[in-house]
Amino acid sequence: KAGVTQTPRYLIKTRGQQVTLSCSPISGHRSVSWYQQTPGQGLQFLFEYFSETQRNKGNFPGRFSGRQFSNSRSEMNVSTLELGDSALYLCASSRGSGSPLHFGNGTRLTVT
Amino acid sequence: AQTVTQSQPEMSVQEAETVTLSCTYDTSESDYYLFWYKQPPSRQMILVIRQEAYKQQNATENRFSVNFQKAAKSFSLKISDSQLGDAAMYFCAYGSYAGGTSYGKLTFGQGTILTVHP
């Protein structure tokens, strides 16, 4: 069974640009969550989607947005990039309540 | 809001020995899940073990076991017979049960880097 797939693995963007990250969950998993990992702040929850609906949102500015498609694939968008957005962005999927999160390998975003 | 604290930024252990990683959390909820995840240099977060708060019995997975003390809000991970492949960053995480409707939002501790010496 294929795991959670995140693309791209590495991304370099310039301040002010926007970026879209993609996540394909494990087949059958309807919940997709996104996390930001930085050395200073650690792992922070961004948002969770379940059956195309945002179910939870973390404490991030509106520049961070996401969506989920009918096939459960999810995208995360960051607009007007700032240097502080440089981080590892992790996507995780699960079947839903009671089942564990399975993480992808992450997308390393560098903002210059 | 829930918080998770890992007070050991780094730990080391000799191969084949036992090591315990500490984790405490703060919550006002009675129903929740606790996890230990491992993140090797490859970056992928790997589930090590899971504990449901309503279960009094401590979870075990092969060489990994937890000491769950609900009243003390403590959740430590014991790794027995440590192997070189256990070297990684270990994260303790809290997840609300919320009636079983939401599971994707976890609160993570700051992590403990585990070094295994041959």
Residue matched to tokens 């129903």: B31
CB contact under 8 A, B104 and A97: no
Note the pLDDT tens digit of each residue in B2-47: 899 999 999 999 999 999 999 999 999 888 889 999 999 888 899 9
Q: How many CB atoms lie within 10 A of CB B22?
A: 17
What residues form DSSP beta bridges with A31?
A50, A94
Number of inter-chain CB pairs under 8 A, A vs B: 65
Region A11-32 average pLDDT: 96
- The pLDDT of residue B99 is 56
Residue B73, amino acid: K
Residues 23 through 62 of chain B touching chain A, CB cutoff 8 Å: 35, 37, 42-47, 50
Q: In this structure, what token pair is assigned to residue B106?
A: 């976890």
Note the pLDDT tens digit of each residue in B86-105: 999 999 999 887 655 556 78
Contacts of B93 (CB under 8 A, 6+ apart): B4, B34, B35, B36, B37, B106, B107, B108, B109
DSSP B24-74: EEE-S-SSEEEEEEEE-TT---EEEEEEETT--SPPEETTEEEEEETTTTE
- The pLDDT of residue B102 is 55
Contacts of B3 (CB under 8 A, 6+ apart): B25, B26, B107
pLDDT band at A8 (very low <50, low <70, confident <90, very high): very high
CB nearest A97 (choices: B101, B108, B111): B101
In Å, how far is B72's CA from the nearest CA of chain A? 24
From chain A, pick out residues whose CB is under 8 angstroms from the CB of B35: 100
